[in-house]
Amino acid sequence: MQFSSTLLEALIAEITRLPGIGRKSAQRIAFYLLRVPADEAGRLANAILELKARVEDCSICGNVTETQPCALCADSRRDGAVLCVVEHAMDVLAIERTAEFRGRYHVLKGALSPVDGVGPDQIRIRELMARVESGGVTEIIVATNPTAQGEATALYIARLMQAHPSVRVTRIARGVPMGSDLEFSDQITLARAITGRKEI
Amino acid sequence: MRLLRLELQNFRNHRDCCADLEGRPTLLLGANGSGKTNWIEAAALVSIGRSFRGAKDRDLVRRGADAYEVRATLSGRAGAPRAVTVRGSLRGPREVSVDGAPVSRLADLLGRVPTVQFSVEDVAVLNGDPAGRRRFLDVALCQLEPAYVGALREYMAALKQRNRLLAESLKRNGNGGGGVDETECAAWEEILARTGVEIDRRRAMLCDDLDRRIAGLGDQVDPDLALGLAYGEAVESPERRAERLEAARPRDGRWGWTSIGPHRARVDCRIQGRALNDGASRGYARLYSILVRLALAGVLDERLGEPPVVLLDDPESELDPRWIGRLLALVPEGSQAIVTACRPLTTSPDRFHVMPIESCEVAEVVAAGGTTT
């Protein structure tokens, strides 16, 4: 259905492009924005503009930041000898929430996927190798997703790291979620967990 | 596992059809076009969560309706599902629920309502190209071993990626090959090696098991049949497979696709010492197709601890009339057989109940104890 306002149509079209939002939701959001006070809508518009103007990638780890380098890279209490390699900046947040990791990060901004035209040059692999070659790194924890793309990226990094035998390359473990009953685990995860079982 | 009742609403040509099978072996009798194969398709749908003919929901919805529903009431060993419902519509995803609880992943349904099914289209499958025979093994293993689903999914994803890598380099460099990032290719090969060897190992084990059983079943129908089934890919270590993939890389680079692995494996069906697709008669091909499913029923029974429902769509046409009775006697003890036909079977065990399937509706059982002769 087309609305009588082309501006409204244009806004709906823009909102529809956001991830996870279909046309119905976009219409609801657009009508909501139409009715909110001008200053409230202005705050949202400004927040988006400011974000685009001031937030950029950290020159070292690739995480999103307003300062160079980012707070995580600048924090001298963090252990620069251990690098945790993730696909996206959101994964940094997830690992930070665990409060278990005190090393530094490297955000690849993607994973190998020839089908999508993503090769090693399209993700921040070269930057990772440069960090390793500049010295001081003793371990790389590859925390890419447990998908075929994430696995291939992990294996690719492990192969490149064979040139640096002093650096240990590890992969995050996978298995059953804590605090949930086995009976509710999906069968594939559970089967994997059994295959990858450990001595206690 | 026994099917107590199957209700279809707006499924294919069935508007509203309720069959009270009460777990008994049943012969569904109906003229051509009465919807027998569609009924079998619906019964298999509650087991494997999709159409065994590969049909999409929009093909399953009855013309003029916008959604279908299939409800099965079941009885099995303790803990087995009592009710499975599958809903599909012209738009939106298919919804499956087990005992009222929605199932979000198909893998969580597979193997819980074990079935084997035979349909007319399957004859061409065993007797046709190897892809169909591999699919038969894949469908069976997905019911048997949840880990197989994961390995297969990962293998197919990695295969697509390596093939694209090869095709891209072919496009860039012409068919002299080369130009593939060797390290990147090796990363994908490592996944292909690990999951591919896993797939081969599980397929080979299933084939060994089926081979033993089908030979025995064949003997009981006719000692001259000499039936066999063999998996054509070598079972080897992931390291060895990775080496072979690496060795094949130059050739694969020239071709633009991956030439070794389970996606190319042969599955050999033999009858009287010859390959089934090497000029076996249609009757033999049909007999083999049915027996391999009965062999599979035995495997499912043993490994899942639950005898599967055996669905046989029109098994008697093109078959030696002496065979049908012997075939039905080979359905595993405890399995419920549901058989369709246009006319009463030449011979069938007495315990079969007859249900007419007419004008898109399956009527009640004709009479308790009604049998064919």
Average the pLDDT over B122-138 and give the result.
83
- ipTM entry: 0.80
**What gap in Å lies between CA B112 and CA A183, rounded to an integer?**
14
A91 to chain B nearest CA, in Å? 22
pLDDT band at B259 (very low <50, low <70, confident <90, very high): very high
pLDDT tens-digit map of B139-170: 899 888 878 988 999 999 999 999 999 998 88
Please indicate if any CB of chain A lies within 8 Å of the CB of B160. Answer: yes
- A61: buried, middle or exposed (CB in 10 Å: 19+, 13-18, 0-12)? buried
Please indicate if any CB of chain A lies within 8 Å of the CB of B257. Answer: no
pLDDT at A180 over 90: no
Please indicate if any CB of chain B lies within 8 Å of the CB of A148. Answer: yes
Q: Closest by alpha carbon to B190, among B242, B243, B234, B240?
A: B242
**What gap in Å lies between CA B343 and CA B183, rounded to an integer?**
63
Please indicate if any CB of chain B lies within 8 Å of the CB of A177. Answer: no
Of A32-36, B89-93, B257-261, which range is least confident? B89-93
* Cα-based torsion angle of the residue sequence B228, B231, B236, B239 in order, rounded to the nearest 10 degrees: 180
Residues of A in contact with B160 (CB under 8 A): 115
CATH topology for A6-54 is Helicase, Ruva Protein; domain 3 (1.10.8)
> What is the pLDDT at residue B57?
92
Interface test with B, best of A129, A187, A192 (most B CBs within 10 A): A187
Average the pLDDT over B51-76 and give the result.
91
Residues of A in contact with B108 (CB under 8 A): 186-187
Beta-carbon contacts of residue B245 (< 8 Å; ≥ 6 apart): B189, B192, B193, B258, B260, B261
pTM of the predicted model over 0.90? no
Q: Quick check: A114 and B186 CB within 8 A?
A: no
Q: Cα–Cα distances in Å, from B165 out to A26, A116, B153, B172, B187?
A: 38, 11, 19, 11, 12
Of B129-138, B281-290, B361-370, which range is least confident? B361-370
pLDDT at B126 over 80: no
Domain coordinates in residue numbering, chain A? 6-54, 77-171
Of A16-30, A171-185, B183-197, which range is least confident? A171-185
pLDDT tens-digit map of A12-22: 999 999 999 98
pLDDT tens-digit map of B315-349: 888 788 888 888 888 988 889 999 998 888 777 66
Produce one character per residue of B270-288: b if its CB has 16 or more CB atoms within 10 Å, e if not: bbeeeebeeebeeebbbbb
Q: Which of B108, B160, B186 sits opposite A159 (nearest CB)?
A: B186
> What is the pLDDT at residue A52?
94
pLDDT tens-digit map of B38-61: 999 999 999 988 888 888 999 999
> What is the pLDDT at residue B360?
44
Report the residue of chain A nearest B154, measured CA to CA.
A148
SS3 content of chain B, % helix, strand, coil (to 5): 45, 20, 35
B123 or A97: which carries more pLDDT confidence? A97
> What is the pLDDT at residue B212?
95
Report the residue of chain B nearest A190, measured CA to CA.
B147
Please indicate if any CB of chain B lies within 8 Å of the CB of A192. Answer: yes
Which CATH number is associated with domain A77-171?
A: 3.40.1360.10
> What is the pLDDT at residue A123?
96
Q: Which long-range contacts (CB under 8 A, 24 or more apart) does B105-108 make?
A: B105/A186, B105/A188, B106/B49, B106/B50, B107/A186, B107/A187, B107/A188, B107/B142, B107/B146, B107/B149, B107/B150, B108/A186, B108/A187
Phi first, then psi: give them for residue A151, nearest 5 degrees: -65, -45
Report the residue of chain B nearest A187, measured CA to CA.
B146
Instruction: Find residues 286-315 of chain B whose CB sits inside 8 Å of chain A.
Output: none
Phi first, then psi: give them for residue B47, nearest 5 degrees: -95, -50
B188 to chain A nearest CA, in Å? 6
> What is the pLDDT at residue A102?
94
pLDDT at A164 over 80: yes
Please indicate if any CB of chain A lies within 8 Å of the CB of B342. Answer: no
pLDDT at B35 over 60: yes
Q: Which of B107, B147, B191 sits opposite A151 (nearest CB)?
A: B191
In chain A the beta strands, taken as DSSP E runs, fall at 56-57, 64-65, 79-86, 103-107, 139-142, 168-171
Instruction: Find residues 168-227 of chain B whose CB sits inside 8 Å of chain A.
Output: 168, 181, 183-184, 186-188, 190-191
B110 to chain A nearest CA, in Å? 10
> What is the pLDDT at residue B257?
93
Q: Which of B105, B160, B187 sits opposite A156 (nearest CB)?
A: B187
Please indicate if any CB of chain A lies within 8 Å of the CB of B106. Answer: no
